[in-house]
Structure formats: structure tokens, C-alpha cells
């Protein structure tokens, strides 16, 4: 008997015993697909939140300060932070107004998902919030000082108001006040409906023109790293305690990294839980396979007895069973992977609105585990019975 014949015999056995083959495949398909989909979606969620924080800008420190006398501390804080260049990369007030921006007849009031926020920022607003210029120039220190009526548009706003024509140099009105567009930021969040790009920045010193009469109380400080963010919190807290002595106002300083850290912790726990569930589905699939194989072991032992009695050698019988198990399991594994990939893409789109693909390592692991299990249990009768005397195997009934 050669390999081709063993192969034919194995295929014949698979098609002759459809129920057995399909049930075995099903065990593998369910195990593999479930693991791939669940693990991928969690991995996708992890990636989504990581990307979200990266877009937002990492290592940010939020400063809130309310001196009771309404004193403007912006310049003091700005100058203090300049001196902390080892820890602090930038600082900006973070106030905003929500008024329409108009260009000719187009108004942001008519945007599908609502108009933009217009931030009252310093020259370091873009640095602090992870925006980069696509065109023109950014807000400058001079603009802030001179209260220049200039505006830098986020990509979503620029696209809405100007389409394909050139925004830089054009005049827009913000709440009826005229501003000159000096620059446009690159899109960093183009796919979502409530895009981070639906924004604009003007020098904070123009706040009064936009009806913002009180001084800025909310600031974002961009630290140079994770450790540095914690350091900056301590130092800025110390600075504020001098600037606003006890009883003359409130202030608090906190690192935004804590949200990210909480999120990371949460997704890590999610990964563990889902990993556990995935492991259980793999196991259940595996037990299903074992079950089918063990239930048919008597029947198969009898068949092996017949095959031996009419001249099947141990080698040819093991070969047949090996090929049979491998073919069934690999087909099951393949179908499981296909369903797993499709399921992952669909689940990713539905839950995260994101195109996710399962990792290769995890796929190989899930397929490897169930295929190995299937082959071991598929071969079990052959290993057990092919060494018996034919009559001993025939006695199995």
C-alpha cells in the first residue's frame, strides 16, 4: 500500500462517515473561530484606546486654578513652565467657545454632527494637543501678545468651509468677529463622526472679542514623558500654592495619564477574562472532538480488526487514520480561521467601528491546539487497536 492509496482510503472514510467527520470539524471550527474573534476584538479594543490616547496627546497635565479675585494667571503659569523645560514641553490655556464659524454663505451651524469648538490657546496649543500643521503657520507668540485676529482651522472645519479651495489668507467670522485664517492642521482623526479635527484655535487674548470676559482658568501642560508628567504635577502644584495662597482661591493639578493607565488596567483585565473564556471555548471544542472520537472507538476498533484480518498492516492502518484525522482537522481549522477572520472584521466594525485583523501568532496557536488534539484523538483507535491480534480487535462490540 502506498501513500496515495492511504490517502484515498482516508478520504473515503471521511465521506462515508459524514456525521462523524462533520461533528469533529464542528468542534474545531467552533473552538478556533471563537478564540480568534474574542481575542481579536479585545486586542482591537486595546489598540483603539491606545490610538485614542495617542491622538489626544499623551503625558498631558490639566491645571485648574480659580483665584477668587479673578486675577489672570495665564502669563505667570506660561513663564513658570518655560523655566521647567526639562519636564514641560508646552503650556496653553484650554478654554473654548462654541460659536459658528462662517465663510461667505457657509456656516458651521449646518454641519451634520454639530459645529466645532474654538479653543482660546497659546502658541503652544497645537504642541500640547498633538496637532500638526498641514498648511500655513501656527498661532505665534506675537499673535498672542498683539491680540491678532488670526485663526488656525482643524481639518474637518477647513474641509467643510473651503472644500478644495485655499483657506489660508481668507477671512472667516467667528461669532460675527472677523479672523484671518493663517493655517490648517492635519487631520488626525478623519474616520469618526465626532472628529477631534472639528476644531479651531485663536489666540487666547482674543477671548474677550468672543464674549469670554473672565480670565482662563483651565490649562493644559504637556510634559516631556511619563515620569516627567508626575514631576510637573508636583512642581506646578508648588508654584500655584505660592501664587494662590490658602484662602485666596482654589486650584488642582492632575496628570491625564491616570485615565490612560486606568484604561490600560481595565483592558488588561478584559484581556484576561476574554482570554479565559476563549480558552474555555477551545477546551469545549476539544472535548467535543474527544467525545466523538471516543464514542466511535469501539466501532473503529472493530473496523481495524476487519482490516487487519484481510491483510491491512499496522503501518497502513495508522497511516490511514493519521491522514483521515489530519484532513478532517485541517479542513475544520481552515473553516474556523475563515469564519474567525470574517467574524473579527464584522465584530470590529460593529463594536469599535474599526478594521481589525486577528494576529497571526494567535491564529496559529488556536489552530495548532485544536488540530493537534483532533489528530491525537483521531489516531487513538489506530494506535490502540492496530497492535492487537485481529481477533482481539474484532471482539470489540
Partner 1 sequence: MISMKLIDVKHVWKIYNEGYENEVRALADVSLEIDRKEFVAIIGQSGSGKSTLMNILGCLDVPTYGDYHLDGHLVSEMSDAQLSKIRNREVGFIFQGFNLIPALTALENVELPLTYQGVFGSRRREMALEALEKVGLAERCNHKPSEMSGGQQQRVAIARAISTRAPIIMADEPTGALDSKTGKHVLEILHGLHDEGTTIILITHDNKIAATAERIVRISDGQIIQDCPREEAEL
**Shorter beta-carbon distance to partner 1: residue 145 or 315:** 315
What does the radius of gyration of the chain's CA atoms come to, in whole angstroms?
Answer: 33
- All cell numbers assigned to 393: 480487535
- Rounded-to-10 torsion of CA 347, 351, 352, 354: 30
CB of 391 to partner 1, least distance (A): 5
256 touches partner 1 (CB under 8 A): no
Please work out the total of residues on this chain that contact partner 1, with binding judged by CB under 8 A. Answer: 26
3-state secondary structure of 16: helix
Question: 71 or 314: whose CB is closer to partner 1?
Answer: 314
Of 326, 359, 329, 358, which Cα lies nearest the Cα of 345?
358
Q: Which of 165, 311, 360, 361 touches partner 1 (CB under 8 A)?
A: 311
- Beginning with the edge strand found earlier in the chain, give each strand of the sheet holding 218-223 in spatial order: 88-93, 218-223, 60-67, 249-255
Q: Does 19 bind partner 1 (CB under 8 A)?
A: no
User: Can residue 316 be called a binding residue for partner 1 (CB under 8 A)?
Assistant: yes
Our CB check for partner 1 shows the closer of 23 and 356 to be 23
> What is the helix (H) or strand (E) element at residue 374, kind and residue range?
helix 360-385
Site residues for partner 1, 276-305, by CB under 8 A, read 303, 305
312 binds partner 1 (CB under 8 A): yes
Range list of β-strands (E), the chain: 60-67, 88-93, 95-97, 101-103, 106-107, 117-121, 133-136, 150-153, 171-174, 177-185, 199-203, 218-223, 249-255
- DSSP structural state of residue 13: H
CA atoms in the 13 A half-sphere facing the CB of 158: 29
Q: Would you give the end-to-end CA distance of the chain in angstroms?
A: 28
E strand or H helix at 366, and its extent? Answer: helix 360-385
Shortest distance (Å) from residue 306 CB to partner 1: 5
309 binds partner 1 (CB under 8 A): yes
Quote the least distance from Cβ 376 to partner 1, whole Å: 22
Give the residue, chosen from 3, 5, 70, 241, that forms a contact with partner 1 under the rule CB under 8 A.
5
User: In this structure, are strands 177-185 and 150-153 parallel, antiparallel, or unpaired?
Assistant: parallel
The residue (of 82 and 295) whose beta carbon lies closer to partner 1 is 295
**Contact region with partner 1 (CB under 8 A), list: 37-45, 93-101, 103-111, 386-394:** 386-394
CA separation for the pair 242, 19 (Å, rounded): 80
CB of 319 to partner 1, least distance (A): 12
For residue 36, the minimal CB distance to partner 1 (Å) is: 33
* 79, 241, 265, 389: residue in contact with partner 1 (rule CB under 8 A): 389
Q: Which is nearer to partner 1, 60 or 307 (CB)?
A: 307
CA-CA distance, 391 to 300, in Å (whole number)? 14
Cα distance between residue 276 and residue 361, in whole Å = 17
Which of these segments, 6-14, 75-83, 236-244, 321-329, binds partner 1 (CB under 8 A)? 6-14
Work out how close the CB of 31 gets to partner 1 at its nearest, in angstroms, rounded to a whole number. 27
Q: Is 378 in the site for partner 1 (CB under 8 A)?
A: no
Least separation in angstroms between residue 388's CB and partner 1 is 10
Q: Which residue in 17, 124, 198, 217 binds partner 1 (CB under 8 A)?
A: 17
Query: CA-to-CA distance for 111 and 55, rounded, in angstroms?
Result: 23
Which pairing describes strands 199-203 and 117-121: parallel, antiparallel, or unpaired?
parallel
Q: Quick check: 219 and 93 in contact, CB under 8 A?
A: yes
Site track for partner 1 across 67-106, x = CB under 8 A = ----------------------------------------
Contacting residue, 152, 202, 373, 394, with partner 1 by CB under 8 A: 394
3 is a site residue for partner 1 (CB under 8 A): no
Task: List residues near partner 1 by CB under 8 A.
Answer: 1-2, 5, 9, 12-13, 16-17, 303, 305-316, 389-392, 394
Amino acid at each position: 500500500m502506498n501513500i496515495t492509496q492511504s490517502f484515498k482510503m482516508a478520504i473515503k472514510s471521511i465521506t462515508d462517515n459524514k456525521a462523524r467527520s462533520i461533528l469533529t470539524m464542528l468542534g474545531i471550527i467552533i473552538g478556533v473561530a471563537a478564540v480568534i474573534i474574542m481575542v481579536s476584538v479585545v486586542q482591537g479594543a486595546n489598540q483603539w484606546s491606545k490610538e485614542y490616547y495617542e491622538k489626544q496627546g499623551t503625558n498631558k497635565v490639566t491645571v485648574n486654578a480659580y483665584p477668587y479675585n479673578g486675577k489672570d494667571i495665564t502669563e505667570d503659569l506660561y513663564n513658570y513652565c518655560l523655566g521647567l523645560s526639562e519636564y514641560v514641553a508646552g503650556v496653553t490655556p484650554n478654554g473654548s467657545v462654541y460659536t459658528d464659524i462662517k465663510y461667505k454663505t457657509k456656516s458651521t451651524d449646518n454641519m451634520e454632527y454639530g459645529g466645532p469648538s474654538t479653543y482660546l490657546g497659546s502658541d503652544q496649543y497645537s504642541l500640547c494637543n498633538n496637532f500638526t500643521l498641514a498648511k500655513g503657520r501656527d498661532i505665534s507668540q506675537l499673535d498672542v501678545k498683539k491680540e491678532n485676529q488670526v485663526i488656525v482651522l482643524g481639518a474637518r472645519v477647513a474641509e467643510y468651509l473651503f472644500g478644495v479651495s485655499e483657506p489660508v489668507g481668507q477671512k472667516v467670522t467667528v461669532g460675527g468677529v472677523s479672523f484671518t485664517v493663517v493655517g490648517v492642521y492635519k487631520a488626525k482623526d478623519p474616520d469618526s463622526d465626532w472628529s477631534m479635527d472639528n476644531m479651531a484655535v485663536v489666540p487666547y487674548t482674543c477671548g474677550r472679542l468672543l464674549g469670554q470676559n473672565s480670565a482662563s482658568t483651565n490649562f493644559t501642560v504637556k510634559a516631556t514623558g511619563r515620569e516627567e508628567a508626575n514631576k510637573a504635577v508636583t512642581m506646578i502644584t508648588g508654584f500655584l500654592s505660592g501664587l494662590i495662597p490658602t484662602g485666596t482661591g482654589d486650584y488642582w493639578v492632575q496628570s491625564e495619564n491616570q485615565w490612560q493607565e486606568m484604561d490600560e488596567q481595565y483592558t488588561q483585565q478584559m484581556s484576561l477574562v476574554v482570554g479565559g473564556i476563549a480558552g474555555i471555548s477551545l477546551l469545549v471544542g476539544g472535548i467535543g472532538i474527544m467525545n466523538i472520537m471516543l464514542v466511535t472507538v469501539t466501532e473503529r476498533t472493530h473496523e481495524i480488526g476487519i482490516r487487519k484480518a484481510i491483510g491491512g498492516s499496522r503501518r497502513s492502518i495508522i497511516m490511514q487514520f493519521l491522514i483521515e484525522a489530519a484532513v478532517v482537522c485541517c479542513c475544520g481549522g481552515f473553516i474556523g480561521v475563515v469564519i474567525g477572520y470574517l467574524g473579527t472584521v464584522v465584530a470590529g466594525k460593529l463594536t469599535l467601528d474599526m478594521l481589525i485583523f486577528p494576529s497571526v501568532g494567535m491564529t496559529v496557536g488556536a489552530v495548532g491546539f485544536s488540530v493537534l488534539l483532533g489528530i491525537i484523538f483521531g489516531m487513538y483507535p489506530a494506535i490502540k487497536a492496530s497492535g492487537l491480534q485481529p481477533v482481539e480487535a474484532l471482539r470489540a462490540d
